[in-house]
Chains A and B, each alone.
Chain A
């Protein structure tokens, strides 16, 4: 059952307090430089607080709340630009398994992820970073109860710490399959991708004749695979939208504080309309992104199928709006905002990656056009 508004407020303040203490910008800078690229102590606390279980059904050891509640945590992790396997493991891998028709596999793999014993990840994108399943760059084939993977997937988050990897692959007949693989299986190779956003770690994962039992299929390949992929893509797009909305909100807070404090021409620069209106533009982007992402996350919890449209709307709008807000935030800081030492660039870089990690805004707009235009003409 979803949390009440008061419970969400409580979750938000708990999360904000923890991350202010454990994930300040200075702490973020300190952990991203060395392996594993995140603070294991903080990750353990996140698990202990139940953040990894929020949206997971109770039969898998989860709390049985909803994505609308998970959105609260994602927003706060974005505010703090926290490096952690949360997106890969708690959001993507957990969702893939929780939605899987193969209940036995989910029962086996999901609980350890919820408990934090195992980190999960999903190889969802193609090697070029696109997320169109019809062009998947990992192929699957099957023989005598075994599933074989060949090819490679790109932009796989936290693959080096993952014990369970859900791989999206395309069959010779075009059927989409999702397969759970232990990355230590022979034939799996990881190559680190160098990203401008240092708070996230991505890998190209190659599969050279990797074989697993067909009981590792999350669902039947084909329509069920397509549906599961689409839902997972929606979860990812909405999750990075929440993250971006949080990071943009923090940038707005910082830019506003700076505009009140910094004096030029004998006045705080925030009294000048040129600067004030930049801040107002940020506020428009931040508030509209906040409501859009919460609505989209709640659409994932609803029984109806509005989540697909909500995800496309979010991916079309939120990334660009939040990236622009972070860009404005950097500029409001003037010269100091252009330095490595100042934190503005950290938020902007995080949000620019959020904007494209689950498909570009442009691609999502074209997808939206496919589904929505016929209904608009009909009405």
Chain B
């Protein structure tokens, strides 16, 4: 079992050996086209494997089974990508989005309750966006009214990934409608088994339905489930730390290189163009793929720079927006251009591999999937506003 605190080489060979033993050789073939339920069961099993190996949440504090330094987390992400491991998709929200906010803002008792639940396999979703609060998230309207020792929650959330499978939802709700919009928001942990919650899956443009609408009708939430102070929920949500985002995109970048660019090069080596020549020998195709590869290298340098800055304690809000744009636009460009290279073959549909992340091996679907990265987690346009206003100091 890989441990923190040794040499980087030891860790690398430790994770590599573990992955060789534990990543099922044929999981892609077996998981392709399975039902949503079977896909979730597989991801649950994989999360359990990671948990047993101490690799579910390497970025958490040592007391919680983590304690890996940032450079060590980089090695773990690299090696899992190298091994072609499934993405830890089902537990990602819990481990990378919710846990950092809890570690940052929750009481010791709450940390004990929620983090140990995550380690026991509880899944989480994040109730942030609403039908009328997307890019303008702070205008959210889901209401939480205090009634004795409970809040009573009414409203609607949308684009909530894994809501059907989740035990808990970390939700932003309005507790003070009179205050200015960022100041009247609180962060509640809502038990998804509470009466009054309805979950409706939303089918995504590329096929699967792993995100949902969430309806709250008079849902009672104990006051003890509030993270941080009342009306301070905006700051709690911002406590999702930059380091986790950097490691997440680093993982996605390594996968993009191996399963995206690598797969495209592999397919181009056998795919024939109209004149019978191999796509890989076409100068335009070669250049396009080499350009994507070069950009994936530059993205790694951006990530390494951001990770160095985090270690030094520098502000990385601008860099993290740059990286979000860079990754999502690279993925978008690669999938669009390689779909085009394949001509009509690029339009073939087939059973989807939901548990792998974006890569389905059907390029048109991958291209459609790539829009999710341009939009989710802050659209590229919002990211450009952040860069313009926070990094360059341009007026609003």
Identify the A interface with B (CB < 8 A). Answer: 252, 256, 259-260, 267-268, 270-271, 273, 276-277, 279-281, 283-284, 287-288, 291-292, 294-295, 309-310, 312-313, 316-317, 362, 365-366, 368-369, 372-373, 376-377, 379
Contacts and interface: CB of A to CB of B under 8 A. Distances in A.
A289 B17 CA distance: 36
B395 A268 contact: yes
A316 B392 CA distance: 27
B120 interface: no
Contact of B395 (A271, A284, A292): A271
Identify the 7 closest CB pairs spanning chains A and B, nearest first. Answer: A276-B388, A280-B384, A270-B394, A365-B290, A280-B387, A316-B294, A291-B301
Given A365-B286, A365-B291, 20 more contacts: A267-B395, A271-B395, A277-B388, A279-B387, A280-B383, A283-B391, A284-B387, A291-B301, A291-B302, A291-B304, A309-B297, A317-B298, A362-B287, A366-B286, A368-B290, A369-B287, A373-B280, A376-B293, A377-B266, A377-B269
Contact of B388 (A280, A291, A362, A365): A280
A260 B393 contact: yes
14 contacts: A271-B396, A273-B384, A276-B385, A276-B394, A279-B388, A283-B322, A283-B391, A288-B326, A316-B294, A317-B295, A369-B290, A373-B286, A376-B265, A377-B266
Contacts of B197: none
Given A270-B395, A376-B265, A368 B294 contact: yes
B78 to A, nearest CB: 12
Contacts of A294: 301
A170 to B, nearest CB: 24
Contacts of A277: 381, 384-385, 388
B325 to A, nearest CB: 6
B276 interface: no
Nearest to A321: B298
Nearest to A296: B301
A279 B392 contact: yes
A267 B262 CA distance: 48
Contact of B384 (A276, A288, A312): A276
Contacts, number: 124
Contacts of A362: 287
Given A288-B322, A291-B305, A376-B265, A366 B287 contact: yes
Contacts of B393: 256, 260
Secondary structure at the B interface, as helix, strand, loop or mixed, is helix
Interface in B302-330: 302, 304-305, 318-319, 322, 325-326
A364 to B, nearest CB: 8
A2 B391 CA distance: 30
B290 A372 contact: yes
Contacts of A310: 297
A279 B394 contact: yes
Given A276-B385, A283-B387, A312 B294 contact: yes
A260 B395 contact: yes
Contacts of B265: 373, 376-377
Contact of A283 (B266, B298, B301, B392): B392
Contacts of B266: 376-377
B389 interface: yes
B294 A260 contact: no
A240 B392 CA distance: 25
A366 B283 CA distance: 8
B147 to A, nearest CB: 42
Contacts of B325: 284
A281 B304 contact: no
B302 A288 contact: yes
A142 to B, nearest CB: 37
A259 B394 contact: yes
Contacts of B385: 273, 276-277, 280
Given A276-B388, A369-B286, A377-B269, A287 B395 contact: no
A294 B298 CA distance: 11
Nearest to A281: B384
Given A273-B385, A288-B326, A317 B392 contact: no
Interface in B80-122: 82
Contacts of A313: 293-294, 297-298
B188 interface: no
A2 to B, nearest CB: 15
A288 B394 contact: no
B287 A287 contact: no
Contacts of B392: 252, 256, 270, 279-280, 283
B289 interface: yes
A273 B385 CA distance: 7
B261 interface: yes
A311 B381 CA distance: 32
Contact of B389 (A276, A284, A312): A276
A379 B302 contact: no
B181 interface: no
A288 B298 contact: yes
Contacts of A288: 298-299, 301-302, 322, 326
Contacts of A292: 297-298, 301
A262 B395 CA distance: 12
B336 interface: no
A295 B295 CA distance: 13
B36 to A, nearest CB: 31
B304 A295 contact: yes
Given A276-B389, A279-B394, A284-B326, A376 B261 contact: yes
A365 B319 contact: no
A287 B280 contact: no
B395 A283 contact: no
Contacts of B396: 271
A366 B290 contact: yes
A273 B301 contact: no
A260 B394 contact: yes
B258 interface: yes
B287 A365 contact: yes
Contact of A377 (B262, B291, B299, B389): B262
A110 B65 CA distance: 57
Residue of B262, B265, B388 with most chain A CB atoms under a 10 A cut-off: B388
B298 A270 contact: no
Residue of B287, B319, B381, B396 with most chain A CB atoms under a 10 A cut-off: B287
A252 to B, nearest CB: 8
Contacts of A270: 388, 392, 394-395
A283 B394 contact: no
